[in-house]
Structure 1
Amino acid sequence: MPEIRQSIAQHYHERTKYDPETIHSKNHQLDWENQPIPFKKYKVGTTIDLKPYLQEKINQGKDSKEGENLSNLLVCSYGLTGKMPTIMGSHYLRAAPSAGGLYPAEVYLISRGTPLLPAGLYNYQAKTHSLLRFWDNRIWPELQDACFWHPALENTKLAIAITAIFYRSAWRYEDRAYRRIFLDTGHLLGNIELASAFSNYRPHLIGGFNDEAVNQMLYLDTTEEQAIAIVALADLLDIEQNLPQWQTALPSGTQTDYPFIADGELLKYLHEATHINSNSPKVPAWKTRETPEHSEDKYNFPFCTKVSTVTSSISWGKNLEGLRKTILKRRSTRVYTGETIALKELLTVLDFTYQPHHYFNQELDRNPDYFDLSLIETFIAVSGVDGLEEGCYYYAPMAQELRQIRFKNFQEELHFLCLGQDLGRDAAVVLFHTADLKKAVGKYGDRVYRYLHADAGHLGQRLNLAAIYLGLGVSGIGGFFDDHVNEVLGIPVDEAVVYITTLGSPR
């Protein structure tokens, strides 16, 4: 029988793997004369300054509380948090981490009409912390139609649209940038989820939408920028917007009949192949989501050492002020000391990342929206944790335990796997998010490649914030020798590595 051809998502994944024998042969040179600018500009529009709303009790009236909530949500999701001098001028840091500091995402607000925001389209101008209203017609029905009448849009009045300007990331990472764009989007979604809790919103994630319709609605130049996620914002101060949860992801087609695609064209081809459009099958009904999608942990290796991860949770303080401060001061660690960390610290980071229901009494969402967490697995390489044997472990979130699968100190191998980055060698812990790509494509079609990386980035951002709060160093790694990870660490061969996060003692 003829071999079944890989889908375009699987083909893309294979084509964009890093290999030690070929990684230096491409010799990609950065085009500094065409370095992308990470801020979008409009020639016309009406500006709404959000900075005054960061100050307490400066306004009276219906728009006061809305302005305060929206200003806090946006600054903590994607706002500027620092500025670094460079030989090219200044480099601005944001609340959400981005590979290479390239910030490929753009954030838009779609308003149905509120006291602060008349109906229309707004772009978030992070550099000035303001909203630019560039379209003033009522387009909410267009949004509903493009999202196949998702129930979260029936009573809500605001929605966030996240887009990607592909060149911002592809300038450095070429075709592999698609992975990083969606990891970065996951970081942003993680911030939106958590910042909503102290801004009186509940975000409802929508990954299934008519791509072409949303792109047209936002007036995007699709040769450069396209929509990648929608988030309906439910106002928790309005009882009619206290809504149930629905599914977030829809399948696309699975393309196995594709031509030869030249290097440099693969990113764009994959994205357009994962579109849902007017020719796609109609959605019969959006299903409610009342319980977590995980029912049991995927791996239970025989005779393995098991370590309970049950621990006390982080206390984020009154009105989650500790969480807000942590989001705004987060930085990616550049150098680790190589010193060990405490087992309690690792367990606390895992608790915040994977056990959100433990934080319900602090008014955090007990079941936040992901696309499909049941597709993501976590493996942990331990090099320096006091009270925990060195080796590689599978993290079982349902059972809340670490299951050891290999006994060894992997520091030298981790240095190699992470492309010779010292972060991999000197970290106390390296976490690997993986997915069975073939199974995932079978469930959601090629569009699942978006979902997997966004969910991994979302988890990665929770890891980031818990680590920073505890005084640990943390940094994500999107570049690694894909095929060598499973062999070295003993991870099952079906698990494709999606993302790596390092934890350790910062220098």
Structure 2
Amino acid sequence: MPSRDLSEHAAVRAYHQRSKHRFEGYAAGPETLDWDAQPAPFRHFEGAPAIRLPLLADVPAGNALHQALQRPFVTLDAAGAMVLPADLYGIGALLQLSLGVTAWKSLGPDRWAVRANPSSGNLHPTEAYLLVAGIEGLENGLYHYRPEDHVLELRARHAVEASTPRLAITLTSVIWREAWKYGERAFRYCQLDIGHAVGTLRYAAAVLGWRLQEQAQVGSATLARLAGVDRLEEFPAQRLPDTEREEAEILLAVGFSGAAPAPLAVTELRTLAQAARWYGVASCIDRHPLYRWPIIAEIAAATRREDAPVVSCKPPPLPSPAQPRAQIGAIAVAELLSNRRSAQRFDRSHSMSLACFAALLARLRPTHNLPWDVFDDSPRLALVLFVNRVEGLTPGLYLLPRTDALLTRLKPRLAKHLLFEPVPGVEGLLRLTEMEPVALRRISRSLHCHQDIAANACFALGMLAEFDETLQRQGPAAYRGLHREAGLIGQVLYLEAEAHGLRGTGIGCFFDDPVHELLGLQGDAWQSLYHFTVGLPVPDPRIESAPAYARRDTPEPTGGRHP
């Protein structure tokens, strides 16, 4: 292994250890927060031409798109979906259902936006850029999506000819939005957010009958050039350059025929970027940052990928897709995607039915269909569950390995005294140990940074990644990929919980090594990267809600505290 790769591997491992929370102390973060000086949650480009996208509310009743939006969520991955045209209405629906604002919330003088894609602390580091060619109503070029008013900003014109519609989506991270609150652990959270955003885009694409596929052959430098985020003179900083920079993360190609899109050629993307005519200067994210976190720039550099050939390989065998869930009702897909929320509190007396629990876990087992088909990588995460209140199940620890291969590799690493008993009625679930309810709640609360939401949920879970072997086999860039897989799992949990009348909450704050010790895990072979809770939410009656785009012509606030 070249010395550069060795140093990058060392940087990944050093960062992961350094950014862990421990009982004796949390990962380094700011000592104080001034919510009135929060980084701007929305970015725009001054001087870039703007194109208003149609809203879902603008879709004429009865047409094909309107019918697709009313389709039951539970049938979204069934065969025979109508393929809708690549036009402004389709692109508007894709973005509003995946990255758009879904409501404005207020509590006293504070006002904040809720979006379709969840984010750690509702800080939303993810920005989206569209690579467009051959779509009526849009010039060929690169567009930045502005979710606060559902607008595309033309960042670059491309002098290309396209006989058929082409669309690709680049996601970037304004890492400072997360680092402002979470300090050194922020890079992890940005990668989880990318996984969530990829998930929202994949589900929204399915509504339209479109496919979405990661373009892993495109390296970080090429992607940064294509998105224009390496044009640092157009991202001016008032004080610290890191506050304004965007990290190029991932490129997703859209297939309009219902089949996977053809791979994008790296050389053609480079040519587009070099010949582009650019517009606009980025708005400021933070004029007065108080802290610096140099290790974030180091881990970002260590985990960037190089351009690579397109690798055509047969995917590993996976189970057939789960059947539609008629028992959970026929809520319309647009309604469910738009109403997804993160629970703030759970009803500690509510118990899930075993049928609901089994149906939800079945959706977490990867297949070659929605949404797992967006990534080419084999599944690398197994789930350990803290089951508090599921009818018919004894409280305790359970394991959902997700695939037989993961179970084969994980089981020898876990403590020998664990039971590994199959659970009747829940395919693939193994009971590890039974616990007294009070003891389980105490452990759940303690391991999740002493948060009641973990103890009061029907169940919590941790996502165990095959860490060391994945990094050795795929290189340091796989560190991002592991977190993105975790974020995608979290997005499935969010939507499936909503479909069952429940609610989920992603938890990035947990004590890493104590989780491993509970399971008997040693070393870096397996690491817990993300946790999640599901239960019956208890709404806060003090919080008021307003429609997302009721006043699109009126500029919305660009800051403000959120609970």
Same fold by TM (over 0.5)? yes
Do the aligned partners of 2:202 and 2:211 also contact (CA within 8 Å) in 1? yes
Q: 2:311 corresponds to which residue? A: 287
Q: Which residue is 2:48 aligned to?
A: 45
For residue 440 of structure 1, report the CA deviation from its aligned partner: 1.2
Written as runs of structure 1 = structure 2, the 5 A alignment for 1:295-306 is none
Distance 1:49 1:385 in 2: 47
Contact 2:213 2:375 in 1 (8 A): no
Query: Larger deviation: 128-137 or 325-334?
Result: 128-137
Cα shift at 1:26: 6.3
Q: 1:499 to 1:56 in 2, by over 3 A?
A: same
> Amino acid of the residue matched to residue 291 of structure 1?
P
Aligned to 1:324: 334
Contact 2:210 2:256 in 1 (8 A): yes
Residue aligned with 1:401, SS? coil
Q: Shift of the alpha carbon at 1:118?
A: 1.6
- Contact 1:53/1:67 (CA < 8 Å) preserved in 2? no
Q: Is the 8 A contact 2:340 2:498 kept in 1?
A: yes
Letter of the 1:488 counterpart: L
Please give the TM-score of this superposition, normalised by the length of structure 2.
0.72
Q: Distance in 2 between matches of 1:352 and 1:499?
A: 18
For residues 77 and 265 of structure 1, do their structure 2 counterparts lie closer, same or farther at Cα, with a shift above 3 Å needed?
same
Secondary structure of the equivalent of 2:537? coil
Match of residue 390, structure 2, among 368, 385, 388: 385
- Note the C-alpha offset of 1:42: 1.2
In structure 2, what is the Cα distance between the partners aligned to 1:24 and 1:138?
A: 48
Q: Aligned equivalents of 2:327 and 2:98: distance in 1?
A: 17
Query: Deviation of residue 213 (structure 1)?
Result: 2.5
Matched, 1:455 2:465: no
Q: CA deviation at 1:134?
A: 2.2
Aligned to 2:152, what secondary structure does the other structure show?
Answer: strand
- Residue number among 497, 508, 524 corresponding to 1:478 in the alignment: 508
**In the aligned structure 2, how far is the partner of 1:367 from the partner of 1:506?**
27
Map 1:208-223 → 2, pairs under 5 A: 208-220=217-229, 223=242
Once residues 42 and 176 of structure 1 are traced to their aligned partners in structure 2, the CA distance between those partners, rounded to angstroms, is 28
Q: Are the counterparts in 2 of residues 406 and 489 from structure 1 also a CA contact under 8 Å? A: no
- Choose from 351, 357, 362 the match for 1:340: 351
Return the offset for 1:208.
4.0
Q: Does 1:500 align with 2:518?
A: no
Quick check: 408-417 or 447-456, which moved more? 408-417
- Corresponding letter in the other structure for 1:463: L
Distance 1:56 1:192, change over 3 A: same
* Among 351, 362, 374, the residue aligned to 1:351: 362
| Cα distance between partner residues in 2 of 1:444 and 1:106 | 26
Query: How do 1:32-431 and structure 2 match up within 5 A?
Result: 32=35, 34-52=37-55, 54-57=57-60, 66-86=87-107, 89-138=110-159, 157-220=166-229, 223=242, 224-236=245-257, 243=261, 264-277=293-306, 283=308, 285-292=309-316, 313-315=324-326, 322-338=332-348, 339-356=350-367, 365=370, 368-370=373-375, 372-398=377-403, 400-409=427-436, 410-431=440-461
Between 226-235 and 401-410, the greater mean CA deviation after superposition? 401-410
Q: Is the 8 A contact 2:401 2:429 kept in 1?
A: yes
- Equivalent in 445, 449, 460 of residue 475 of structure 2: 445
| Corresponding residue SS for 1:82 | strand
Q: Does 1:30 align with 2:39?
A: no
Give the letter for the 2:445 counterpart.
Answer: H
Kept after mapping to 1: 8 A contact 2:397/2:434:
yes
**1:20 and 2:31 equivalent?**
no
SS in 1 for 2:136: coil
C-alpha spacing 1:489/1:425, structure 2 compared with 1 (3 Å): farther
Partner of 1:368, secondary structure, is helix
Aligned match of 1:302: none
CA distance in 1: counterparts of 2:87 and 2:353, whole angstroms: 42
Amino acid at match of 1:406: T
Cα shift readout 1:144-189 (whole Å, capped 9, x = no counterpart):
xxxxxxxxxx987110000001111110011100111111111111
Structure 1 residues 294 and 65: alpha-carbon distance in aligned structure 2, compared to 1, 3 A threshold: closer
Q: Which amino acid aligns with 1:28?
A: E
CA deviations on 1:264-302 (whole Å, 9 max, x unpaired) are 11111111112234xxxx63x42335434669xxxxxxx
- 1:195-224 deviation digits (Å, cap 9, x = unpaired): 111123211112342222222232225641
Aligned partners of 2:212 and 2:260 also within 8 Å: no
Q: 214-223 or 199-208: which moved more?
A: 214-223
TM-score by length of 1: 0.80
- Of 436, 442, 467, the residue aligned with 2:497 is 467
Amino acid of the residue matched to residue 365 of structure 2?
Y
Q: Any conservation in 1 of the 2:219–2:304 contact (CA below 8 Å)? A: yes
Conserved? CA contact 2:134–2:165, under 8 Å: no
* Counterpart secondary structure, 2:510: coil
Structure 2: which 5+ residue stretches go unaligned?
1-5, 65-83, 233-241, 265-290, 405-426, 539-563
SS at match of 2:255: strand
Mapped to 1, the partners of 2:529 and 2:27 lie a distance apart of 22
**RMSD of aligned residue pairs (Cα, Å):** 3.2
Query: Measured at CA, do residues 52 and 263 of structure 1 come closer, stay the same or move farther in structure 2, by a change above 3 Å?
Result: closer
Deviation (angstroms), 1:434 = 1.1
Q: What residue number does 1:299 align with?
A: none
Q: Measure the CA separation in 1 of the matches of 2:338 and 2:376.
A: 26
Question: In 2 relative to 1, CA 227–235 (structure 1 residues): closer, same or farther, beyond 3 Å?
Answer: same
- Residue deviations 1:230-259, cap 9 Å, x none? 00111127xxx654799xxxxxxxxxxxxx
Question: What residue in structure 2 maps to residue 151 of structure 1?
Answer: none
The percentage of aligned residue pairs carrying the same residue is 25
Q: What is the one-letter code of the residue matched to 2:530?
A: Y
Residue identity opposite 2:43 in structure 1: K
User: Structure 2 CA distance, aligned partners of 1:242 and 1:22?
Assistant: 46
